Structure 1
Amino acid sequence: MATEPSDPLLLPDAAAWRAWLDAHEDDTPEGVWVVLARKARPAPTSLTRDEALEEALCSGWIDAQARSRDTDTSLQRYCPRRRRSSWSARNREIVDRLVAEGRMRARGQAEVDRAREDGRWEAAYGGAATLEVPPVWSRALAASPRATAAWELLTAQNRSAILHRLATVVRDETRERHAARFVAMLERGETPHPQRRGTLPAE
């Protein structure tokens, strides 16, 4: 089982997460692990996955790895959006709503403007059904029964995130490295996006 990251950020609610991002959006380049509430449980935090993602997008951040924690909470890493990183159709739809609601911060709006200018906004990728499984990923899974078992249980959102990352890499060597990294992630029980506790194979 994956060990819990040291010193994850535990905040009381979405307002506190927004305030933290306002204070640290430019001085935490590697991102931060955040404790999230499962469903609508008020303790030790009421911050939900949807709320955390919305505030992250407002500040030009995105969600990264997810981990289980306990019956009441989960862990999610958030980090500043990297230059030229792709947009998902889902996040684009969320941002359209956030813009309409007047919630975007300057940094978040700047990321949207750059994506519109360079074509990434229009090229936002859809679900896993629109992406092919590359041979390198098939080979990587075949070498790891544990990762294969986890892959078969992934949500469409998590499959899409992995397949899109592999599909957009230019160099074969880089694609091989990404495939190995994703296999290791699945073997540890981690996922790109949060997934209900207990749905991945246990050690």
Structure 2
Amino acid sequence: MNQINTIPTLEFKTQNKFENWLKKNHENSIGIWLRIFKKDTGLKSISYSEALDVALCYGWIDSQKQKFDEQSWLQKFSPRTAKSIWSKVNTGHVERLINEGKMKSPGLIAVEKAKADGRWDKAYDSPTKMIIPNDFLLELSKNKNAEDFFKKLNKTNLFSIGFRIHTAKKTETRDKRIKEIIEKLAKGENI
């Protein structure tokens, strides 16, 4: 079954309407596809940034984006899990929302859990700020073919490398990922 069909597709004209829905459903829903209309359509719709703010306040997060039609797209929102990773962009949004007094109890609980188990401090950078770790670059320098191919990668592939390394929870996992990435690069394969 197509994943889009397993959770409801909803649309909200305002941030307040989405917040009212989340207030009632944040604990019981597995998630939604939120239909967001493009600005140039003239159709009233919650914006992505408005929806993200509300979702974070209730301990939810955005994930996949899907094309819907020429006027709109779908953005998946769902409750954070105990293993949900955090981006630095979203930790920044949460800090702003806390300062503005907008965070709700479910969102604050998600933040406290992330701080307690270390996920908050391990938040990953956005694609424009992702830095390739030095330990990876050191290992890469030992393989000329991989290093040459690495130099030709686009920003998307560089982010993918940094993300995979940065999000490893254990040292063994990190080392294994570095080795696997270098092996792929040596074969001329994108990440």
Note if 1:68 corresponds to 2:67: yes
Corresponding residue of 2:86: 87
Distance 1:58 1:162 in 2: 30
SS at structure 2 position matched to 1:130: coil
Note if 1:37 corresponds to 2:37: yes
SS at structure 2 position matched to 1:164: helix
Corresponding residue of 1:125: 124
Q: State the Cα distance separating 1:165 from its structure 2 match.
A: 5.3
RMSD: 3.4
1:46-61 alignment runs, 5 A limit: 46-61=45-60
Q: Is 1:87–1:120's contact at 8 Å kept on the other side of the alignment?
A: yes
Note if 1:19 corresponds to 2:20: yes
Point out where structure 2 has 5 or more consecutive residues left out of the alignment.
Answer: 137-152, 178-191
SS at structure 2 position matched to 1:63: strand
Q: Is 1:40–1:46's contact at 8 Å kept on the other side of the alignment?
A: no
Tell me which moved more, 57-66 or 111-120: 111-120
Q: 1:161 to 1:42 in 2, by over 3 A?
A: farther
SS at structure 2 position matched to 1:66: strand
Question: How much identity, in percent, do the aligned residues show?
Answer: 31
TM-score (norm 1): 0.62
SS at structure 2 position matched to 1:64: strand
Point out where structure 1 has 5 or more consecutive residues left out of the alignment.
Answer: 134-150, 176-203
Q: State the Cα distance separating 1:152 from its structure 2 match.
A: 6.0
Q: 1:94 to 1:119 in 2, by over 3 A?
A: same
Distance 1:70 1:153 in 2: 28
Structure whose alpha-carbon radius of gyration is higher = 2
Give the paired residue count. 153
Residue deviations 1:30-87 (CA, integer Å, cap 9, x gap): x1101012236552x4211111111110100000110112232110111101103221
